[in-house]
Structure 1
């Protein structure tokens, strides 16, 4: 769906989980994600939004092969990741990184943060000696706005925002071209969220990174993302450029999702709640995506 050669191309991705059979009955399958397709161009940020349980994080893990899809393909820089051997996939992981929601859970509490970031070099750059690794980590700390003197400290000695900066430093250590940011600001104070988002933007401009940005924060998604995909019941129901989607949402679920963000104008809020009540009459399973305008895709409803 992108006019530029994509860095990531996802086609008909589905993910299902088997459910346990009770009392000798037949086990069933839970379909978390069904038939999802999208492209991400170099240097682009695609936002993925939807309510809890819609399958956002499942897609993020499937795209990075942390939890491989049940069906469909994930092509990274033209290579189908499912066809790679474990060794080749490990080499490819230096180009694909993830920033998780909870930075404290992502860090090893028994390792200094400097050693944590240096682990990427130790695993993927065996040609570097200890002095070179330390210099590289110090540069990364400066790049994400941390004092290199903190390299010997442990995770519990940092604030939430500082921990997320450390995780971002680890993510960019090997100069990836694609990062999945899975709710990277959800666990942070509001005053810190903007700083982390601005850091992600600066790194994108400097390094040419492509992001899959997963978030509940619709305002931040509009600020950061070039395009937005709306996920409902494991399917993409609308995909468009950010401004177009926010100004002219076509799918009823997209309108309801945007209506969840309160407006300071009481009259506008009442009108929007009335429109939301009308949209709720249009519930149903999402159909195939149809291009209703150039670059604006909406599920048939």
Structure 2
């Protein structure tokens, strides 16, 4: 992959998200800390993969970064601008350059709107000066860009396959020429062959448009193929962050090793050797919770082992 520029398009600092829990019998209400003290940067043209088990807080981070579900604390800077300090009008304008592709394309689409109208809605909201003929021409061009027949503009979501629906969602996401897209498990609901097509489409669009992605996924092999860097999330905290090849070839945190070990290798001898080589010591010295740089760009949390920690 091409080396990404050095300056960030998205800078997240000490992001935390908590949810209040119901108070029983008049007692003091507690809070659930879904995400704690998460920091990372994404440079122009770069893809950062976010991996972790279900419930680790991946989607919570994705929604917080786009301000769909604002964080409890911390800062999110888009191209140097703190999103929390923007007025509602300014945030609406900025959102044109920050888009999301959701996991379930059918749920993301409005069943009462045609595919063409769904994509054209972005222009109606952010480009009200566009004439109807211009909108239709722009939507047809977007359909062709993502590999859909422009003659399908009048069809409704139930008339498309899962892969085609996701392509419609991608067309909507790139309609306003964003610079940053959160892809929240965009291939999880698709067949394996269709997954490869959608990932290749995302990569082609990145090369052509200079997009930056936060790619959230359970598919560790696809993450390695697509992403420049990978952040491993465990219980709402990043425990390891490194370049993709470095993290897969030399995982340092015990949770990262176990996550990678969950993907079976086709070679039984290599699988046995990998399991025998798993270490059970703390990955890095330091205060629990701190990220320690153990190599160039390779950060590891100085934590006790997952099974020894009771949250």
Partner of 1:261: 263
CA gap 1:251/1:166 in 2 versus in 1, 3 angstroms: same
Give the equivalent residue in structure 2 for 1:89: 91
Equivalent in the alignment of 2:309: none
Partner of 1:244: 246
Structure 2 equivalent of residue 34 of structure 1: 36
Unaligned runs of 5+ in 2: 304-311
Contact between 1:237 and 1:286, CA under 8 Å: does it hold in 2? no
Deviations 1:3-56 (A, max 9, x none): 711000000000000000112222101000000000000000000000001000
SS in 2 for 1:69: coil
C-alpha separation in 1, matches of 2:203 and 2:109: 23
Residue from 104, 120, 123 that aligns with 2:125: 123
Residues of 1 paired with 2:17 and 2:135: CA distance? 38
Report the equivalent of 2:222. 220
Gaps of 5+ in 1: none
Aligned to 1:179: 181
Distance 2:223 2:6 in 1: 22
- Is the 2:100–2:173 contact (alpha carbons within 8 Å) kept by the matching residues of 1? yes
Q: Is the 8 A contact 2:5 2:45 kept in 1?
A: no
TM-score between the two structures when normalised by the length of structure 1: 0.96
Q: Equivalent residue for 1:70?
A: 72
The worse-fitting range, judged by mean Cα deviation, of 178-187 and 21-30 is 21-30
CA distance in 1, matches of 2:111, 2:74: 37
Partner residue in 2 for 1:101 = 103
Q: Are the counterparts in 2 of residues 114 and 137 from structure 1 also a CA contact under 8 Å?
A: yes
Q: CA deviation at 1:282?
A: 5.7
CA RMSD of aligned residues (A): 1.5
- Corresponding residue to 1:11 among 10, 13, 23: 13
Equivalent residue number for residue 199 of structure 2: 197
- Out of 155, 161, 164, the position equivalent to 1:162 is 164
Number of residue pairs aligned between Structure 1 and Structure 2? 297
